[in-house]
Amino acid sequence: MDTKTQIIQAAVWLFLKHGYNTVSVSDIASRAGVSKGGLYHHFISKEALAEAVVDFYTREFYLRVQSSMSNNNSTYDKLRAVFELSTPDRGIWSVPAVEHSPEERLEPSEVLRFLFEVARNNEHLRNRIARSNEKVIADLVNMLESGKKLGFVNRNIDSNHFALTIFSMHRGLLNLWAFNPDIDIDKTAQQMAEDLWQLVKS
C-alpha cells in the first residue's frame, strides 16, 4: 500500500470514529505511521484529507448506482437495485474503505455522522456532496425517461419530481437504518421499491 493510501485510510477511521473536529493532523500521521511532514507532502491540510474521504464515499456510491442501472434491463429491476444499495451486503457500508480489525468495525451511523458534520461546517465540502447527489438524481431521471420510452413507466408522471422522491426515500432509508440498526433493512428496501413502482408504472 502506498503512503497516500495509508494516510487516507487512517483519516477515514479516525474521522468516522472520533469526528472531524476532534481529530488532529498529528493523530492521523501517528495512525498512518508517517511523520507530519510526510503527511503534508501528500495533503496540504486536514481539510484536504476530509475532501479525499468525502470523494471516496460519494464516488463509490455514484459508481454503484450506475452499475445497478446498467446491470438490469427493466425499470422495475433498476429501481429495486437502487434500493438494494441501502443494504449491508451491497451498499456503501460494504466498501472496504479502510483495513481494520473486527473490533474496529465502522458503523453506518459513523459514516453518516461524518458526512453530515463536514457538510454542515464546510461549504466547499457541502458543495462536493451536493454535486454528487445531483449526478445520482440526473441518472434517476434518465432511468424514468428511458422507462417511459420502453413502455414500463407511466408517460404522464413528472420524471424530475419522482427522481427526487426516489432519491429522498433512499437517503431517508439509509438514515433510518443507520440509527435504528435492528430494522429489517432488506425487507424495508424491497417494500419501498415496490411502493414506488406502483406509483410510476404504466
How much is the pLDDT for 106?
59
Between CA 94 and CA 89 the distance in angstroms is 6
How much is the pLDDT for 183?
82
How much is the pLDDT for 107?
62
How much is the pLDDT for 102?
44
Q: 151's torsion region: left (phi>0), alpha (psi -120 to 50) or beta?
A: left
**Beta bridge partners of residue 153, listed in sequence order:** 201
Long-range contacts of the stretch 119-123 (C-beta < 8 A, 24+): 121/20, 121/21, 122/47, 122/50
Across 88-112, b (16+ Cβ under 10 Å) vs e yields eebbbbeeebbeeeeeeebebebbb
How much is the pLDDT for 89?
57
How much is the pLDDT for 16?
79
End-to-end CA, the chain: 51
The parts of the chain modelled with pLDDT lower than 70 are: 1, 72, 86-109
Residue 150: partners with Cβ closer than 8 Å, 6 or more residues away:
75
How much is the pLDDT for 140?
92
How much is the pLDDT for 101?
47
